[in-house]
Amino acid sequence: MLPINDEAAQWVARLNGDCDDRVRAEFEAWHDADPRHQGAYLRAEAAWMMLDRAQVMTHGDTLHSRRALEEKVKAHRAAVNRRYVLGGAMAASVAGAGGVGYVLSHRLSFATGLGELRKVPLKDRSIAAVNTDSQIDVDMSERLRHVALVKGEAWFQVAKNPDVPFVVSAGDIRVRAVGTAFSVRRRKEGVDVLVTEGTVEAWNVNDKDGRVSLTAGHEAFVTEKPEVVAVNFRPDEVERRLAWREREIILNSEPLSDAVAEFNRYNARQIVLADPALGASQLVGGFQVDQPETFARAVHAALNVPVSIQDDRIIIGTNATAL
Amino acid sequence: MTVKTGDARKALLAFVGTQILPHESDLRHWLLRLGVKAHELDDIVQDVYCRLLRLERVDHIEDPRAYLFRSARNVLLEQVRKSKIVSIMTVQNLDELGVADLGPSPESAASSRAELTRVLALIGDLPERCRQVFELRKVHGLSQAETAKALRISENIVEKETAKGLVLILRHMAEAVVPDVPVRRPKPPEFGVLYAAD
């Protein structure tokens, strides 16, 4: 006789398949026969439902209302179903704000809108966390796992596979990993590389000798113009700069000007620093990326400067309008 | 007792799946340390889940992990009283059972990143065909019929693979501790409050 837990799993599979009233009646009889059956069935069904969480994982229900998210999931399902009905094509290409990634795709293009953060499971079981206003093009082949960071910022947790290198390209800059976790962010004149686990190599294709190696806790800025790359060991800084994965902005003595620029990456409602002299004030604090108003009010309190909160923007350092 | 349906059941399933199941392996280890025999574990754990069914609501449970352990302790005490479990050391020991040594809930269990990693790892560790079925059904949200069509196998096989996979995943959750993505970050003293640093 099967253990009760295994029986319960079978019932979950039967009831979530193509079952009729006879099966349901049979199940009810089994379920009611023993409190242990009831407990085991709850446990198995809960696990079954819990696995749905792999489907679409997003942070920030504050950003998209739950309803919008459900619509998205529905549209995603419809799209996937269509693909399978039309001959099971695996290739997928989704672009634009609100794109949804497919774990089975060898190739996919994935973009986020302003303020959007998405976790994308990749075919090789790696995970990409894609930050605001960013785009990645993924191409998984037998010999190379290649992700092009077209714009913005992404963090990768790379599934270990020593035979197939995982390479992120950002313009002329390459970052290569085997099994590790790291982030890449495109900036005007180069690329920030932050490593949270394992080891990565980073280089500019125009200067292959300038290749640097980074281990966990290290960060480097690799420039578009080939230059000597400085690698710094700053584990706390690496984690601070990756707080976006939790939809947070953490400030640890950052100048106000940097903090403002950071909020403006995520929000259409931009913060304007009306008094440039304030920009150098250093701040310590933590905020949700989508709450520039909370930040502005905190700046008002911490620095005792005027702040004007308007519908379309937030102005720090002007007396134009009272708070 | 028939299976409840509707929103209450959904809320309970979501609670159990995300707040209780991730702690089950710890609970089992704890029970073993107390002297519960391996073959008695399932009974106790099932009893604990069964008690959750009697709850009208779950949103008042602030620390699900502590709740789970307390509940298991009550089950144990009751079973000892009914002499259903004789292998446990002594009733006196049991009465002294506290839940103080449980330690804090691992913070990582609550992070959605860790959760996604955990769920994908559970699916990824399945045998090949099982894994394909779970990816289509759980990651892509396909039905059993759609999954059968996509993989060109019968619905009956999909159902069998589903059952097999769920058995494996449940066993895995009961036994192993799936490593989480470490989450470590400097936290300011208070969220949403700024300090001028000079």
Q: Are A17 and B137 in contact (CB under 8 A)?
A: no
Residues B90 and B29 in one domain: yes
Contact check, Cβ <8 Å, A239/B185: yes
Rounded to a whole number of angstroms, the distance from the CA of A108 to the nearest CA of chain B is 15
Q: Tell me the backbone φ, ψ of residue B114, rounded to 5 degrees.
A: -60, -35
Rounded to a whole number of angstroms, the distance from the CA of A109 to the nearest CA of chain B is 17
Which of B78, B104, B130 marks a domain boundary? B104
Residues B64 and B146 in one domain: no
Residue B75, CA distances (Å) to A93, B68, B80, B100, B132 in order:
52, 11, 9, 17, 38
Q: Residue B102 is which amino acid? A: L
Q: Report which of B65, B67, B49 is spatially closest to residue B12, judged by C-alpha positions.
A: B49
Which residues span the domain enclosing B163?
109-175
Examine residue B157 and state whether it is found in any structural domain, yes or no: yes
Q: Which residues in chain A are closer than 8 Å to B45, comparing Cβ atoms? A: 39, 43
Q: Which residues in chain A are closer than 8 Å to B169, comparing Cβ atoms? A: 47, 51
Residue A153: pLDDT above 90? yes
Q: What is the CATH number for B159?
A: 1.10.10.10
Contact check, Cβ <8 Å, B134/A51: yes
Examine residue B149 and state whether it is found in any structural domain, yes or no: yes
Contact check, Cβ <8 Å, A104/B139: yes
Residues B136 and B54 in one domain: no
Residues B128 and B151 in one domain: yes
Distance CA B170, CA B42 (A): 12
| Facing residue for B119 by CB, picked from A10, A51, A59 | A51
Residue B100: pLDDT above 50? no
Residues B68 and B114 in one domain: no
Mean pLDDT to the nearest integer, A132-147: 90
How would CATH label the architecture of A247-316?
3-Layer(bab) Sandwich (3.55)
Structural fold of domain A57-235 = Jelly Rolls (2.60.120)
Distance CA B171, CA A256 (A): 51
Mean pLDDT to the nearest integer, A102-108: 56
Rounded to a whole number of angstroms, the distance from the CA of A41 to the nearest CA of chain B is 9
Residue A96: pLDDT above 50? no
| Facing residue for A283 by CB, picked from B124, B174, B197 | B197
Mean pLDDT to the nearest integer, A10-16: 93
Distance CA A246, CA B107 (A): 13
Residues B21 and B81 in one domain: yes
pLDDT score recorded for residue B50: 94
| Facing residue for A51 by CB, picked from B123, B142, B160 | B123
A184 forms bridges with which residues in the sheet?
A: A154, A193
pLDDT score recorded for residue B33: 77
Residues 6+ apart with CB under 8 A from A314: A269, A270, A271, A272, A292, A293, A296, A307, A308
Residue A93: pLDDT above 60? no
Locate the chain B residue with the closest alpha carbon to A292: B192
**Number of structural domains chain B divides into:** 2
Residue B189: pLDDT above 80? no
Rounded to a whole number of angstroms, the distance from the CA of B170 to the nearest CA of chain A is 7
Residues B121 and B38 in one domain: no
Cβ burial A31-47 (10 Å sphere, 16+ → b, else e): beeebbbbbbbbbbbbb
Contact check, Cβ <8 Å, B43/A18: no
Examine residue B193 and state whether it is found in any structural domain, yes or no: no
Examine residue B94 and state whether it is found in any structural domain, yes or no: yes
With cut-offs at 50, 70 and 90, classify the pLDDT of residue A290. confident
Distance CA A263, CA A291 (A): 8
Contact check, Cβ <8 Å, A46/B146: no
Residue B186: pLDDT above 60? no
Residue A45, CA distances (Å) to A10, A12, A32 in order:
10, 6, 16
pLDDT score recorded for residue A124: 84
Rounded to a whole number of angstroms, the distance from the CA of B33 to the nearest CA of chain A is 22
Residues B95 and B117 in one domain: no
Which of B88, B104, B120 marks a domain boundary? B104
Tens of pLDDT, residues A54-77: 664 433 332 333 344 345 445 544
Number of cross-chain residue pairs from A and B with Cβ atoms under 8 Å apart = 243
Contact check, Cβ <8 Å, A294/B42: no
Q: Which residues in chain A are closer than 8 Å to B42, comparing Cβ atoms? A: 3-5, 36, 40
Residues 6+ apart with CB under 8 A from B84: none
pLDDT score recorded for residue B8: 83
Mean pLDDT to the nearest integer, B131-146: 85
Residues B162 and B76 in one domain: no
With cut-offs at 50, 70 and 90, classify the pLDDT of residue B87. very low
